[in-house]
Structure 1
Amino acid sequence: MSSNKTDPCWKHWDQHRNKITSNKGGWKIGDAVYNHGYSMMDDLIGQISWFQLLVLNTTGRLPDKNLATWLENCFSCLSWPDSRIWCNQIAALAGSVKTRPVAAISAGIQASDALLYGPGVITPCLKFIQQAREDKDQGQTLFELIQNRQGNNHSLPGFARPIAKGDERVTAMYRLSRELGFEIGPHESLALEISEYLTIQEGESINFGGYMAAFLADQGFSDPDLSRIMALWVSAGVHACYAEAADNTAGSYLPLQCQDIIYTGVAPRDLPNP
């Protein structure tokens, strides 16, 4: 394939040829480590929390301590030390065969990126509540914006929950939101209205993903922002289940014997003569 130097892609690549450019920052040896205009050792260490640093590194925005505290507790809400949860189960199985921590925990985190649990819920939840707010601002009633979505055989992302009804994490985070001094913004207000309607009509309510998306939409976060910030959302729970299994006798997490497996395939049969 011949190259076309008039192609805009080539121009862009040539501008970056043999050099790394960054808007984030970097280490100037003998000077300082810079991060979005801050000297990390002089301006940030001892002055901000790890969650403030996480948001700064991801988005370029340094949040205040209250918002960072809210995000930290948001992580706690998805870090259950329960090895029945599938991402935790993977880490526990890895720990049971004495896998090194980084490999085991990375595998557990990778398994959390699902559509019903973990970082994978962020995009649909955020997209729904932002669209719902636009629809309401354009005059749709609460009934119309819910029915229009359900009538097209679509679910309401961020509402209802598998296995259990209600979500104790929403109650806890709503309380924390008020304790930290956050006012109820337009996305959160609409999400709570939808939840109240669904509770009356269908016995369902907002789940943690829906509440988190609505609250953080009011704080000005985008889908790319949240998907990146929440990449390690379940990590503390994964750590817990890995550590417990790794400390136990090797192979003792969910061991199986042959008779524990129920075979439902073709019955045993004789091989034909050659």
Structure 2
Amino acid sequence: MNTENPLISWEGPLRSEVGGCFPGERAVFRGHDLHASLRDADWLDLYLFGITGRRHTPEQIEVLHAIWVNTSYPDARLWNNRVAALAGSARSTGSLALAAALATSEAAIYGRQIDIAVADFLERAQGRIEAGENLENVIREELQRNRSIGGYGRPVARNAADERIGPILDVATRYGLADGKYVRLAFAVEAILLNGRWRMRMNYAALAVALALDIGLSPQECYLFGFPTFLAGMVPCYIEATQRPQQATLPLRCSSIHYEGPKHRSW
């Protein structure tokens, strides 16, 4: 390794340990022949293998599938689906529409960025509990520092239970994966927040990340696993927008806007 210029050591042919394509012969995916040992793999199983380098049990895959399926909402009023729908209304291509919608799914408050925050908090809290600290004190310190805890509270339906938690928990229970230490911790945090003055319920992100952590995913792996979560709900929004007249998705006439800014100016 050239310490003065590390790029020199990487000059030349691309070296990779994750795989390669050999046209007319084979494709290698993390050391396995894609068209031989992996050709019957479930797509999510393959996706996770690409992320983690590890294979997962059928039970784990079913639970992770449930996390994806139960938040696939084809509602164009949702912020990321709206992007897909507006792109369809403008007659953009499907790839551009979905790429833009997935990019906006990175929202820090209710998008995929929250997954890393949830995983970070649960791992830190679990470590402190195992070291003998009181969970309520851990929560108080977290709220004093950040004013919120990722995975708790919800911008909409603030006082209602998250409708996704029950179905996902049912699947996890069916496959014996509903009682891991992070799932128990997630519910313990909710109990303290509800019984205290904060009145915050667990939302989908806390349970999804807790299940993923119990399955063995790291915080970064949780984030990458969750990246396509909303995708299935985006496509119908895009398609429906293309079936309306052009620009007929969420149109608003100028006379409906109460404007108090500067008057008309010449440029």
TM-score, length basis structure 2: 0.91
By how many angstroms is 1:110 displaced?
A: 0.8
Distance 1:235 1:115 in 2: 18
**Equivalent position of 1:116 in the other structure:** 109
Look at both structures and tell me which one has the larger radius of gyration over its CA atoms: 1
Task: String of CA shifts for 1:236-272, please: whole Å, max 9, x gaps.
Answer: 1111110111122212111122202221113579x9x
Distance 2:107 2:169 in 1: 25
CA contact (8 A) 1:170 1:211 kept: yes
Structure 2: runs of 5+ lacking an equivalent = none
- Residue 136 (1) aligns with residue 132 (2): no
Distance 1:241 1:30 in 2: 38
Stretches of 4+ moved more than 4 A in 1? none
**Equivalent position of 1:206 in the other structure:** 202
Q: Determine which of 237, 240, 243 is the counterpart of 1:241.
A: 237
SS at match of 2:27: strand
Change (3 A) 1:186 1:233: same
Range that drifts further, 181-190 or 113-122: 181-190
SS at match of 2:37: helix
Distance 1:73 1:187 in 2: 18
Structure 1: runs of 5+ lacking an equivalent = 1-5
Change (3 A) 1:61 1:156: same
Task: String of CA shifts for 1:167-199, please: whole Å, max 9, x gaps.
Answer: 111111111111112251111111111112222
- Residue 22 (1) aligns with residue 6 (2): no
Distance 2:113 2:168 in 1: 20
- Residue 33 (1) aligns with residue 23 (2): no
Task: String of CA shifts for 1:58-95, please: whole Å, max 9, x gaps.
Answer: 22112122222222221123321001101101111111
CA contact (8 A) 1:109 1:232 kept: yes
Distance 2:264 2:18 in 1: 63
Distance 1:15 1:153 in 2: 42
CA contact (8 A) 1:49 1:65 kept: no
Distance 1:123 1:71 in 2: 17
**Equivalent position of 1:173 in the other structure:** 168
- Report 1:5-84 matches (<5 A): 8=3, 10=5, 12-46=6-40, 48-84=41-77
**Equivalent position of 1:145 in the other structure:** 138
Q: Between the two proteins, what is the percent identity of the paired residues? A: 26
By how many angstroms is 1:31 displaced?
A: 3.6
Distance 1:73 1:14 in 2: 45
CA contact (8 A) 2:27 2:33 kept: yes
Distance 1:225 1:83 in 2: 28
Distance 1:233 1:186 in 2: 24
CA contact (8 A) 1:26 1:34 kept: yes
TM-score, length basis structure 1: 0.89
CA contact (8 A) 2:178 2:211 kept: no
Distance 1:18 1:241 in 2: 45
Task: String of CA shifts for 1:189-210, please: whole Å, max 9, x gaps.
Answer: 1111111222223432211111
Distance 1:192 1:160 in 2: 13
CA contact (8 A) 1:122 1:209 kept: yes
Change (3 A) 1:268 1:250: closer
The total of aligned residue pairs comes to 263
Q: Which residue identity lines up with residue 234 of structure 1 in the other structure? A: F
Change (3 A) 1:108 1:41: same
Q: Determine which of 174, 184, 191 is the counterpart of 2:186.
A: 191
SS at match of 2:28: strand
Distance 2:264 2:242 in 1: 39
By how many angstroms is 1:153 displaced?
A: 4.9
